């Protein structure tokens, strides 16, 4: 039976979580806490590596925005031995992406304790900025009220990012410590449950009252997942209808300018150097002329659909549905919808759940001698 | 449409299917000129990207062909290739490519007759499918 303690939040959720993180940071074995913090100079929240407990008063892991997927930031902190342990507060999709990167040896699970909080979703970054004009804390409060109530996060007519609306994995299962918002009495205390031994030994050393997950938690999780499932299905159906031929896909990606921001933002686009920016694609000028002659006309820059299909083939099985590709696109292409939709059959083909477990190898990194015989032959 | 001549790009491994093609040639077996062979050292080096490029450039069909399971000269390249084909067959039909446009076969070094037969059959099948959308429409 997993060990659970309670984080008192009678002074507000943020105050309670900050106090919890202060206690964590006070432990001698913990060098720093990585947590989204409100930047003093602008209305944005960014992952921030905090070693001074004072600075935790800017921590806001509940702000409904994440301008980047923190998985890659955590790989920077863990790719080599540092000699000290860091605690990282991450969203569920950030944890899944990080687990994928650990499988590829780009980060390490050692010297890291992950704290996950039930994820209620976030707004697209561009929607967050105007919503936060009264300050991030004010918005966080309004958001939580909306997200835990009927409105599911909708504020001033603005809904959560499409990827978040369709996310069916809001519980941060891969974390060492899981803080439960769903089903909790958010006026009094939040349950924090140790999911691993590492989490348990940290929890034991904190001065928190014991407790147990609230009765209503399972039902609250199930209800949220069910609503999200329905949205996900609707999103996939709609996106499929928009992209089910090459011509439609080309139109869908029509505004793409090959800036490749989407793969920079994608936490699981794992190559250090993307082939599309290597000299493989520094074509000879006469090559372009050749294409133009053969086809009558060729759009420049070339290879736009090729780029997106290649990305799907390379990382589609690992797509964690975080939505950062959509956030990153300067031209507002609904990329997360496309990648979530197109990746679903790839993940199904290998019965693969990205980020679920370190024991599950990426599908293209292994094989069995007897499998998939149906794809062989010309019948 | 009747005089449609498909283009099939075949990525063949040096040690088995390419050798079989060679054998077919020296045995004076004929196979359709629609097939353009791309010799690779092993099917295990055929990145999905190569297949995508061929299809997007207007190939009507793509074949990846190598050694039978257990015979790969790099031990397991063909098993890796099979997973990549599995992946592409889950990916491409979503965007309207008929799954039959992508094929994987094992043709051993001494199977010259089999090679000629498979090429003929494949070209017939692809001809039946008609020109691929990428060939008829401008893909950007
Ligand atoms: S493709 Fe988009 S939604 Fe999927 S993991 Fe990458 S950034 Fe996130
Ligand atoms: S971010 Fe948008 S414009 Fe840039 S490459 Fe991706 S889809 Fe194209
Ligand atoms: S050498 Fe022929 S498939 Fe690997």
In three-state form (DSSP H/G/I as H, E/B as E, the rest C), the secondary structure along A244-294 is: CCHHHHHHHCCCCCCCCHHHHHCCCCCCCCCHHHCHHHCCCHHHHHHHHHH
Q: Which pLDDT score, from 0 to 100, does residue B2 have?
A: 62
DSSP at A296: S
Tell me if A313 is assigned to some domain.
Answer: yes
A149 — pLDDT class (breaks 50, 70, 90) = confident
Average pLDDT over residues B86-100: 97
- The percentage of residues in chain B with a pLDDT greater than 90, rounded to a whole number, is 93
Do A215 and A332 lie in one domain? The reply is no
Domain that holds residue B41: 8-133
Do A86 and A28 lie in one domain? The reply is yes
Do A295 and A340 lie in one domain? The reply is yes
Do A128 and A189 lie in one domain? The reply is yes
Q: Which pLDDT score, from 0 to 100, does residue A221 have?
A: 96
Average pLDDT over residues A84-108: 98
Partner residue facing B87 (CB), from A250, A346, A378: A346
Tell me if A233 is assigned to some domain.
Answer: no
B140 to chain A, closest Cα gap in Å: 6
Tell me if B140 is assigned to some domain.
Answer: no
Tell me if A283 is assigned to some domain.
Answer: yes
**Number of other residues whose CB lies within 10 A of the CB of residue A278:** 10
B138 — pLDDT class (breaks 50, 70, 90) = confident
Whole-number Å distance between alpha carbons of A223 and B17: 55
Do A41 and A169 lie in one domain? The reply is yes
Report the mean per-residue pLDDT for chain A. 96
Tell me if A240 is assigned to some domain.
Answer: no
Tokens of A205: 């050393």
Do A87 and A135 lie in one domain? The reply is yes
> Residue A277 in contact with residue A260, Cβ under 8 Å?
yes
Average pLDDT over residues B58-77: 97
Average pLDDT over residues A308-335: 98
Tell me if A246 is assigned to some domain.
Answer: no
What is the residue whose two structure tokens read 């599309």? A276
Average pLDDT over residues B109-130: 97
Cβ–Cβ gap A363/B83 under 8 Å: yes
Between the CA atoms of A304, A310, A312 and A318, what dihedral angle is there, to the nearest 10 degrees? Answer: -140
> Residue A6 in contact with residue A48, Cβ under 8 Å?
no
Do A322 and A281 lie in one domain? The reply is yes
Count of structural domains, chain B: 1
Tell me if B3 is assigned to some domain.
Answer: no
Torsion-angle region of residue A30: left (phi > 0), alpha (psi -120 to 50) or beta? beta
Partner residue facing A246 (CB), from B70, B90, B95: B95
Burial of B14 (0-12, 13-18, 19+ CB in 10 A): middle
Whole-number Å distance between alpha carbons of A368 and A375: 14
Task: Read off the pTM.
Answer: 0.96
Least confident of A106-110, A277-281, B134-138: B134-138
Comparison of pLDDT for A341 and A151, the residue scoring more: A341
Q: Which pLDDT score, from 0 to 100, does residue B112 have?
A: 97
Ligand 2 site, residue A136, Cβ cutoff 6 A: no
**ipTM above threshold 0.95:** yes
Tell me if A241 is assigned to some domain.
Answer: no
Cβ–Cβ gap B80/A364 under 8 Å: yes
Q: Which pLDDT score, from 0 to 100, does residue A286 have?
A: 96
Do A192 and A84 lie in one domain? The reply is yes
Do A138 and A282 lie in one domain? The reply is no
> Residue A345 in contact with residue A312, Cβ under 8 Å?
no
Tell me if B138 is assigned to some domain.
Answer: no
Do A208 and A270 lie in one domain? The reply is no
Do A290 and A338 lie in one domain? The reply is yes
Count of structural domains, chain A: 2
Please determine, for residue A7, whether its predicted confidence score (pLDDT) is greater than 90.
Answer: yes
Whole-number Å distance between alpha carbons of A41 and A58: 12
Q: Can you give the CATH number for the domain in which B128 is found?
A: 3.40.50
> Residue A158 in contact with residue A228, Cβ under 8 Å?
no
Give the domain-ending residue among A181, A208, A225: A225
Write the pLDDT tens digit of every residue in A224-256. 999 999 999 999 999 999 999 999 999 999 999
For ligand 2, mutation pick of A251, A304, A333 (most atoms within 8 Å of CB)? A333
Measured from the alpha carbon of residue A314, the closest ligand is: 1
- Which 3 state secondary structure label does DSSP give B83? helix
Please determine, for residue A1, whether its predicted confidence score (pLDDT) is greater than 60.
Answer: no
Q: A101, A9, A134: which is closest to A61 by C-alpha?
A: A9
Partner residue facing B105 (CB), from A240, A364, A377: A377
Least confident of A5-19, A31-45, B26-40: A31-45
DSSP at A364: G
Write the pLDDT tens digit of every residue in B10-31. 999 999 999 999 999 999 999 9
Write the pLDDT tens digit of every residue in A27-63. 999 999 999 999 887 789 999 999 999 999 999 999 9
| All residues at 6 or more sequence positions from B109 whose CB lies less than 8 Å from its CB, including other chains | B15, B16, B19, B20, B23, B67
Do A67 and A159 lie in one domain? The reply is yes
Tell me if B41 is assigned to some domain.
Answer: yes
| All residues at 6 or more sequence positions from A143 whose CB lies less than 8 Å from its CB, including other chains | A62, A63, A64, A120, A153, A155
Helix H or strand E encompassing A163: helix A162-165
Tell me if B139 is assigned to some domain.
Answer: no
Tell me if A231 is assigned to some domain.
Answer: no
- The percentage of residues in chain A with a pLDDT greater than 70, rounded to a whole number, is 99
Torsion-angle region of residue A303: left (phi > 0), alpha (psi -120 to 50) or beta? left
Tell me if A249 is assigned to some domain.
Answer: no
Domain that holds residue A39: 4-225
Q: B105, B103, B96: which is closest to B62 by C-alpha?
A: B103
């Amino acid at each position: 039976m997993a060990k659970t303690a309670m984080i008192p939040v009678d002074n507000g959720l943020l105050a309670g979580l900050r106090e919890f993180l202060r206690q964590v940071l006070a432990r001698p074995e913990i060098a720093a806490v990585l947590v989204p913090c409100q930047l003093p100079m602008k209305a944005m929240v960014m992952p921030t590596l905090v070693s001074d407990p004072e600075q935790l008063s800017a921590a806001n892991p509940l702000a409904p925005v994440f301008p980047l997927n923190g998985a890659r930031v955590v790989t920077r902190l863990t790719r080599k031995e540092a000699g000290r342990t860091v605690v990282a507060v991450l969203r569920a999709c950030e944890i899944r992406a990080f687990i994928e990167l650990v499988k590829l040896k780009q980060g390490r699970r050692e010297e890291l304790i992950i704290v996950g909080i039930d994820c209620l979703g976030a707004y697209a970054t561009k929607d967050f900025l105007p919503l936060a004009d009264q300050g991030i804390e004010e918005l966080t409060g309004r958001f939580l009220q909306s997200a835990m109530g009927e409105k599911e996060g909708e504020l001033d007519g603005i809904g959560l990012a499409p990827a978040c609306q369709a996310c069916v994995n809001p519980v941060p299962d891969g974390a060492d410590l899981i803080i439960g918002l769903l089903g909790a009495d958010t006026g009094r205390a939040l349950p924090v449950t140790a999911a691993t031994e590492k989490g348990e030994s940290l929890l034991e050393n904190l001065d928190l009252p014991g407790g147990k997950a609230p009765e209503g938690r399972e039902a609250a999780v199930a209800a949220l997942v069910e609503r999200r499932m329905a949205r996900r299905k609707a999103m996939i159906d709609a996106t499929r209808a928009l992209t089910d031929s090459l011509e439609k896909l080309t139109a869908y990606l029509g505004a793409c300018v090959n800036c490749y921001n989407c793969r920079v933002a994608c936490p699981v686009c794992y190559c250090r150097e993307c082939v599309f920016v290597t000299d493989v694609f520094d074509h000879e000028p006469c090559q372009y002329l050749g294409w133009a002659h053969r086809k009558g006309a060729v759009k420049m820059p070339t290879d736009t659909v090729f780029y997106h299909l290649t990305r799907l083939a390379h990382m589609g099985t690992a797509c964690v549905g975080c939505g950062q590709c959509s956030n990153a696109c300067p031209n507002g292409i609904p990329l997360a919808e496309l990648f979530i939709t197109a990746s679903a059959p790839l993940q199904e083909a290998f019965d693969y759940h990205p980020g679920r477990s370190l024991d599950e190898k990426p599908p293209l990194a292994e094989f069995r001698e007897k499998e998939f015989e149906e794809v062989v032959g010309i019948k | 449409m009747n005089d449609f001549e498909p283009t099939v790009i075949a990525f063949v491994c040096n040690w088995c299917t390419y050798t079989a093609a060679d054998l077919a040639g020296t045995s004076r077996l004929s196979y359709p000129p629609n097939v353009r062979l791309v010799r690779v050292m092993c099917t295990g080096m055929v990145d999905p990207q190569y297949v995508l490029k061929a299809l997007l450039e207007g190939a009507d069909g793509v074949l990846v062909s190598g050694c039978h399971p257990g015979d790969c000269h790099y031990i397991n390249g063909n098993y890796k290739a099979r997973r990549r084909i599995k992946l592409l067959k889950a990916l491409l039909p979503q965007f309207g490519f008929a799954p039959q446009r992508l094929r994987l076969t094992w043709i051993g070094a001494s199977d010259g007759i089999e090679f000629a037969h498979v090429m003929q059959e494949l070209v017939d099948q692809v001809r039946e499918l008609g020109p691929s959308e990428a060939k008829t429409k401008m893909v950007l």
